[in-house]
Structure 1
Amino acid sequence: MKSAVETLNPTRVRLTVEVPFEELKDSLDAAYKKINQQVTVKGFRKGKIPARVIDQRFGRGAVLEEAVNDALPKFYTEAVNEAEVNPLGQPEVDITELKDGELLAFTAEVDIRPTIEIPDYSGIEVTVDAVEVTDEDVEKSVEQLRDRFASTNPVERAAAEGDVVTIDLEAKVDGEVLPDGVASGVQYTIGSGELLDGIDEAVTGLEAGAEATFTSELKGGSAEGKEAEVSVKVTQVAARELPELDDDFAQMASEFDTLEELKADSRKRLENMKQYDQATQAQERVLDQLIELAEVPIPEKLLEDEVNTRKHNLEHHQLGQMGLTIEKYLELQGKTVEEFDAETREQAVKGIKTQFILDELVNKEKLNVNQEELTEHLMRRASSSGMSPDQFAKAVVEGGQVPMLVGEVARGKALAVVVEAAKVVDTNGEPVELDDDEDETAETVDASSEETEDKAEDKPEA
């Protein structure tokens, strides 16, 4: 077999391949055998039809087509290896010559991973938010905990903001009560914004037994998006009572004996959260600068596939679970279709660049992923997916996604190398020391690349 490679642009090549006909012998034998099992010819046992009879009855062309389709992946792979290119996606194959008994010639155009020069990243500098926990932050955290332990007691007075009212609702559109527009015994905290627009104003000032009517746009159900006339009746008004902030509360709401111990723990938790946010911010900003420094050509077909994948996953998975259409989502986001398309394309470009750069850095630094690192990453991914580690691991193996997970960890380690070399200071000008947590760095990489996955080498067909 002879092959040559022609570079069409930095992300696409054309392979030209010539194969002597004798190298098709195994595929021709396989083609005759396959056809033998599929057809019957009077006078011959199934599977024992001579090749000359198959040629006469079904045509030599059908045999050649079957043989070429069988042989193409092998010859294509040999040509790719000989050219030392890294293909992305499925090649476009064109049979340029097929002379029975003499020669098979074909071309294959395919996108490839571009050659990337890793820039000098030692001079990267980023500024991140300082870790500052104020007394007000601590008080707010404790108040949120206190709010979770609030109790409610019925009162005989008009409802006010913060009260919990028990209400009956009836919604009408064009004077007709909706089949799913009636609800009884609904508990609602005035001011929470968890129900219909306008309900806070309607029930505020009502005592038990009183009724009111208001109009509101329905947020769900059979008449979603339509204006409805809603009748509301208050059947009970209950005041929320918060527990006293003292040592008894600390013992009830936590494992601590005193309120001061509870506050100290809240401060520590807030500091840890802010340190985590600070580390994530540093990783994201270092990655952004690394991407800006590197020249990365993007294969157009890969970018098109990535954009379509992101749109499909958003529309059919994320929004589908929320009961939203893409039109409603864009309305809520205040975006036009053009703005959404531009934003999606920008995210896809960043994801592809992130993978290309970090994969090249993995190779350059000869970074490996051991079993312990892979297991830790798998455990974290399982936790975020809501699956048990065993369930997640089984799904990963059955879906052939182990290489993808290995790639995530490896890219996380590559980004960690860059972050370690960067200068990171906070908004107070103080140097920031980041923990060397490569798995958390991998999460930053995942967030950037999101849907982008390495495209497997597809088998071509004539």
Structure 2
Amino acid sequence: MKSAVETLNPTRVRFTVEVPFEELKDSLDAAYKKINQQVTVKGFRKGKIPARVIDQRFGRGAVLEEAVNDALPKFYTEAVNEAEIDVLGQPEVDITELKDGETLNFTAEVDVRPSIEIPDYAGIEVEVDAVEVTDEDVEKSVEQLRERFASTSPVERAAEDGDVVTIDLEAKVDGEILEDGIASGVSYTIGSGELLDGIDDAVKGLEAGGEATFSSELKGGSAAGKESEVTVKVSQVAARELPALDDEFAQLASEFDTLEELRADSRKRLANMKQYDQATQAQERVLEKLLELVEVPVPEKLLEDEINTRKHNLEHHQLGQMGLDLGKYLEIQGKTEEEFDAETREAAVKGIKTQFVLDELVKQEKLNVNQEELTEHLMRRAASSGMSPDQFAQAVVEGGQVPLLVGEVARGKALAVVVEKATVKDTNGEVVDLDEDDDAEQATDVVEAAEGTADEAAAEKAEG
């Protein structure tokens, strides 16, 4: 077999392959055997029909077609391996010449991973938010904890903001009660915004036994997005009572003896959270700077496929679970379809560039992924997917996804290397020292977000 490669552009090549006819022998034998099992000829046992009879009855062309279809993937793979080219996606194959007993010639056009040159990235500088925990932040955190320990007691008065009401709901669309539009004994905190638009104004001022009707757009169910006439009846009004903010509350709500100890712990936890967010912000901004430094051609077919995948996942999984279609989603977001398409394209380009650049860095820095790192990543992905580690691992192995997970971890390590060499300062001008132990782990999350693989995993889980 002879093959030659022609570069059509930085992301696409054409293979020209010439195959001597004798190299088709195994595929021809397999073609005769396959046809033998599929057809019946009087006077011959099934599977024992001579080749000359098959040629006479069904045509030599049918045999050649079957043989060529069987052989092409093997010859194409040999040509790719010989050229040592990293191809992307499926090739477009064109048989240019097929002479029985003489030769098979074909061409194959396919997208390829572009050649990328990584410049010196040691000089990257980024600015991130300073880690500052205010007294207001601490009091808000303590207040949220206090809310969790609130108690309720029935009152004989009209409902007010903050009260917890027990209500029955009935929704009608075009005068017809919906099958899934009836709910009884629903507990609702006035002002929480957790139910329908307009319900707060409807129930405020009502006592137990009172009812009101209001119009609202349904957020879910069989008539999601439609305007509905909703009747709400209050069966109970209860006032919420917050515990006193004292040492006794600290002992009730935590392992601490005093309120001051609880506040100190809240301040520490908030600082840790903000430091984590700061590290993520640093990694995101370093990645953006790195991508700006590198010229990355993006294969059009790969980009088109990535855009379609992102749209499919959004429409059929994320929005479907919320009872929305794309039109309603865009209306809520205040975006036009053109703006949505432009944003999706931009995100897809960033995802592809991120993968190409970090993969090149993995090779350049000779980074490897050990079993411990892969297992840790697998467990984190399992937790985010809602599956047990064993279930997730089984799904990954059965789906042949292990190399993809290895790639994610390796790219996270590559980004961590760049972040380690970058200068990170906060908005106060102070140099930020990031925790190296958490860098690669966090960086993998940042890479997944940039590539969109987290969304894909969620979509695959929903589809499964």
TM-score range normalised by the length of the shorter chain:
over 0.9
Instruction: Tell me the equivalent position of 1:347.
Output: 347
Q: 1:383 to 1:226 in 2, by over 3 A?
A: closer
Instruction: Tell me the equivalent position of 1:193.
Output: 193
Structure 2 CA distance for aligned equivalents of residues 108 and 430 of structure 1: 55
Structure 1 CA distance for aligned equivalents of residues 28 and 181 of structure 2: 69
Structure 1 CA distance for aligned equivalents of residues 325 and 314 of structure 2: 10
Instruction: Tell me the equivalent position of 1:184.
Output: 184
Displacement of 1:176 after TM fit?
Answer: 4.8
Q: What amino acid does structure 2 have at the position aligned with 1:218?
A: L
Q: Deviations over 1:36-57 (max 9, x none)?
A: 2222222222222222222112
Instruction: Tell me the equivalent position of 1:445.
Output: 447
Structure 1 CA distance for aligned equivalents of residues 180 and 23 of structure 2: 70
- Give percent identity, aligned residues only: 85
Instruction: Tell me the equivalent position of 2:460.
Output: none
- SS at 1:7 equivalent: strand
Instruction: Tell me the equivalent position of 1:72.
Output: 72
Q: 1:230 to 1:36 in 2, by over 3 A?
A: closer
Asked whether the 8 Å contact 1:351–1:452 carries over to 2, the reply is no
Q: What amino acid does structure 2 have at the position aligned with 1:422?
A: A
Asked whether the 8 Å contact 2:160–2:190 carries over to 1, the reply is yes
Q: What amino acid does structure 2 have at the position aligned with 1:444?
A: V
- SS at 1:219 equivalent: coil
Asked whether the 8 Å contact 2:412–2:441 carries over to 1, the reply is yes
Structure 1 CA distance for aligned equivalents of residues 182 and 57 of structure 2: 73
Instruction: Tell me the equivalent position of 2:42.
Output: 42
Structure 1 CA distance for aligned equivalents of residues 2 and 454 of structure 2: 34
- SS at 1:352 equivalent: helix
Instruction: Tell me the equivalent position of 2:366.
Output: 366
Structure 1 CA distance for aligned equivalents of residues 131 and 275 of structure 2: 6
Displacement of 1:81 after TM fit?
Answer: 1.6
Instruction: Tell me the equivalent position of 1:456.
Output: none
Structure 2 CA distance for aligned equivalents of residues 284 and 378 of structure 1: 22
Q: Deviations over 1:53-74 (max 9, x none)?
A: 2211211111111111111111
Aligned pairs for 1:5-44 within 5 A: 5-44=5-44
Q: 1:286 to 1:157 in 2, by over 3 A?
A: same
Asked whether the 8 Å contact 1:309–1:451 carries over to 2, the reply is no
- SS at 1:416 equivalent: helix
Displacement of 1:335 after TM fit?
Answer: 1.1
Displacement of 1:392 after TM fit?
Answer: 0.7
Q: Deviations over 1:136-158 (max 9, x none)?
A: 11111111011001000112222
Stretch deviating more after TM superposition (232-241 or 441-450): 232-241
Instruction: Tell me the equivalent position of 1:457.
Output: none
Q: 1:135 to 1:178 in 2, by over 3 A?
A: same
| Unpaired runs of at least 5, structure 2 | 456-464
Structure 1 CA distance for aligned equivalents of residues 56 and 194 of structure 2: 77
Structure 2 CA distance for aligned equivalents of residues 392 and 77 of structure 1: 31
Displacement of 1:189 after TM fit?
Answer: 1.1
Structure 2 CA distance for aligned equivalents of residues 269 and 136 of structure 1: 14
Does structure 1 residue 286 correspond to structure 2 residue 282? no
Asked whether the 8 Å contact 2:215–2:228 carries over to 1, the reply is yes
Aligned pairs for 1:76-155 within 5 A: 76-155=76-155
Count of residues in Structure 1 that have an aligned counterpart in Structure 2? 454
Structure 2 CA distance for aligned equivalents of residues 129 and 282 of structure 1: 9
Structure 2 CA distance for aligned equivalents of residues 452 and 394 of structure 1: 18
| Unpaired runs of at least 5, structure 1 | 454-462
Structure 2 CA distance for aligned equivalents of residues 221 and 166 of structure 1: 21
Structure 1 CA distance for aligned equivalents of residues 441 and 285 of structure 2: 17
Structure 1 CA distance for aligned equivalents of residues 83 and 451 of structure 2: 28
Structure 1 CA distance for aligned equivalents of residues 308 and 28 of structure 2: 39
Q: 1:342 to 1:318 in 2, by over 3 A?
A: same
Asked whether the 8 Å contact 2:138–2:263 carries over to 1, the reply is yes
Q: What amino acid does structure 2 have at the position aligned with 1:239?
A: A
Structure 2 CA distance for aligned equivalents of residues 172 and 402 of structure 1: 50
Q: Deviations over 1:129-181 (max 9, x none)?
A: 11111111111111101100100011222221111122233444455544444
Asked whether the 8 Å contact 1:306–1:451 carries over to 2, the reply is no
Instruction: Tell me the equivalent position of 1:304.
Output: 304
Asked whether the 8 Å contact 2:224–2:323 carries over to 1, the reply is no
- SS at 1:424 equivalent: strand
Asked whether the 8 Å contact 2:11–2:112 carries over to 1, the reply is yes
User: Normalization by structure 2: what TM-score?
Assistant: 0.94
Aligned pairs for 1:233-248 within 5 A: 233-248=233-248
Q: 1:261 to 1:306 in 2, by over 3 A?
A: same
Structure 2 CA distance for aligned equivalents of residues 214 and 31 of structure 1: 72
Structure 2 CA distance for aligned equivalents of residues 177 and 21 of structure 1: 73
Asked whether the 8 Å contact 2:128–2:426 carries over to 1, the reply is yes
Asked whether the 8 Å contact 2:220–2:322 carries over to 1, the reply is no
Structure 2 CA distance for aligned equivalents of residues 49 and 232 of structure 1: 79
Q: Deviations over 1:336-395 (max 9, x none)?
A: 111111110000000000000000111111111110110010111111111111111011
Higher relative contact order (CA 8 A, sep 6+): 1
Displacement of 1:428 after TM fit?
Answer: 0.6
Asked whether the 8 Å contact 2:225–2:324 carries over to 1, the reply is no
CA RMSD across the alignment: 1.8
Structure 2 CA distance for aligned equivalents of residues 451 and 101 of structure 1: 49
Q: What amino acid does structure 2 have at the position aligned with 1:440?
A: Q
